[in-house]
Amino acid sequence: MGDLTGRTALVTGASRGIGRAIAERLAADGARVAVHHGAGPGDDLDAKETVEGILARGGDAFAVAAEFGPPGDVDRLFDGLLGGLSEPRLDILVNNAAIPDVPGPPEDITPERFDRLMAVNARAPLFTVRRALPLIPDGGRIVNISTGLTRFANPREVMQTMSKAALEMVTLHFARHLGPRGITVNTVAPGVVDTGDPALADPGLRAALSGLSAFGRLGEPDDIAGVVAFLASSDARWITGAWIDATGGTLLG
């Protein structure tokens, strides 16, 4: 795995779950990590805990607050990011922040819920990439966290999946646009990951979801963080525009 010493990274939605694991892994590999969090209940405390854990293990990190969705969200993100960096340089950008939707019949979808999902899950990452471009040096890395749901039909999650499919287009088109600069842009698509959701404490549900994976278990945040760390390394220099199946073999049939 490539050594990230001397590089800077921004991980959005890094206060808990997959984002926290990614921030911890990139810091363990040597990067100085900006741990972004929103304004949800406990987000600031969780981000503080993430940063303190990284520092306690000898890493380097700082927290950045910005609620995605309202006007000026990306500006606030970069104000905080630049305030924590010694120089205006961002080597690694991981667009992980997202909000879920409540699964339900397609007949129950609403314009308000759709607009909120698209604002956070698609628009914010798009304009985060746009704002980051002057800061990313040649050879930089962008990783977008999507979902395996974009590869099969689940009508109860149509809006959530649409927002993530839009994010995948950010990967595809910016990979082509940034290729001449040696900047790679890739998508990582997790399956069912145990991020502490209380619903997964139900033994029956847990067993059913575990059975979807070829490995017979739920994913762990570290499983996804390892894939991202590889894509952030120099070893992944010849991979761009890719959709990386990180579902644990869920899509094998």
Element (H, E) at 97: none
Kindly state whether residue 35 falls inside one of the protein's structural domains: yes
| Residue 21: predicted pLDDT | 98
Q: pTM of whole model > 0.85?
A: yes
Kindly state whether residue 221 falls inside one of the protein's structural domains: yes
Distinct helix (H) and strand (E) counts, the chain: 8, 7
- How far is it, in rounded angstroms, from Cα 155 to Cα 103? 9
| Residue 199: predicted pLDDT | 86
- Residue 231's domain comprises 8-247
| 70 burial type by CB count under 10 A (0-12 exposed, 13-18 middle, 19+ buried) | exposed
Q: Is the pLDDT of residue 1 over 80?
A: no
pLDDT digits (tens, 9 = 90+) for 136-159: 999 999 999 999 999 989 999 999
| Residue 8: predicted pLDDT | 98
Our count of domains for the chain comes to 1
Q: How confident is the model at residue 2 (pLDDT cuts 50, 70, 90)?
A: low
Name which of 22, 51, 18 is nearest 141 in CA terms.
22
Kindly state whether residue 72 falls inside one of the protein's structural domains: yes
Cβ(92)–Cβ(232) under 8 Å? yes
| 56 burial type by CB count under 10 A (0-12 exposed, 13-18 middle, 19+ buried) | exposed
Specify which residues 223 forms β-bridges with.
none
Kindly state whether residue 252 falls inside one of the protein's structural domains: no
Q: CATH number for the domain including 61?
A: 3.40.50.720
Kindly state whether residue 139 falls inside one of the protein's structural domains: yes
List the alpha helices (DSSP H) in the chain. 17-28, 43-56, 73-84, 111-118, 124-132, 158-178, 203-210, 221-232
| Residue 16: predicted pLDDT | 96
| Residue 174: predicted pLDDT | 98
| Cα atoms in the 13 Å half-sphere on the side-chain side of 65 | 10
Q: What is the β-pairing status of strands 32-37 and 8-11?
A: parallel
**What is the DSSP secondary structure assignment for residue 95, as one 8-state letter?**
E
Kindly state whether residue 3 falls inside one of the protein's structural domains: no
Kindly state whether residue 2 falls inside one of the protein's structural domains: no
| 156 burial type by CB count under 10 A (0-12 exposed, 13-18 middle, 19+ buried) | middle
Kindly state whether residue 224 falls inside one of the protein's structural domains: yes
Cβ(244)–Cβ(189) under 8 Å? yes
